[in-house]
Amino acid sequence: MPRRSVTAEDVRAVLVGGELLVPAESVVTDLAREEAHRRHVTIRVADSPERFVRPEARVVALGADHAGYELKQYLKRYLEEWGYQVRDLGTGSATQPVDYPDFAAAVARAVAAGQAWRGIVVDGAGIGSAMAANKVPGARAALCYDKATARNSREHNDANVLTLGARMISPEVAREIVALWLETEFAGGRHQRRVDKITQLERASQDKSS
């Protein structure tokens, strides 16, 4: 049986301070060890060659402004049916106007802090929420409007926040996008190098501002 590699992506799927149980004979990459140290995650080897046990890996942070409230509620029901634990970060009304950057930032921060595995934000067009979420260090937000963009954002860009435009797509299309986006793995390989460069740009900006 080939040995399973434990990657930084596996570690990022665990909440900060949590534990990652990995199969015996696994190979832990250097990046995974660095990420585990940064996030205070304990990597423990199982006694049997079972697949990863990640009890916190299915937490999804969900947020929306008033324009996205109804679609948020619709998606929340499906997420729970699919077995995900949902952290609903608001808003709580379709009639009370609120500002989308507040909710995009809340979702992005939850993901960046390891309090959620992935995040989904809904506003009228999805554009502003993507812009706001991407200002949070550690968040890689992608606006997706069909299954092709959803798959690409995960396979190529390792997006950890999805933004949707409630006025641009139907609830059924949004549901299909979310299902595919959550199930699609990052392809790694040459794409990892490019995602690393995004992270380097982020860190360079942080260094300049400090």
Q: Quick one: how far is CA 79 from the chain centroid?
A: 14
Three-state DSSP string of 140-152: CEEECCCHHHHHH
| DSSP string covering 20-57 | EEE-TT-EE-HHHHHHHHHHTPEEEE-SS-PPPB-TTT
Q: Decide if 156 is catalytic.
A: yes
- The one catalytic residue among 37, 40, 66, 156: 156
Residues comprising the chain, all counted: 210
* Token code pair at residue 169: 């797509």
Place of tokens 């059924």: 172
Cβ partners under 8 Å of residue 71, min gap 6 = 64, 122, 164, 166, 171, 174
Strand extents, DSSP E, the chain: 5-6, 19-22, 27-28, 42-45, 59-64, 85-88, 118-123, 141-143, 161-165
| Whole-number Å distance between alpha carbons of 141 and 161 | 4
- The residues annotated as belonging to the active site are 156
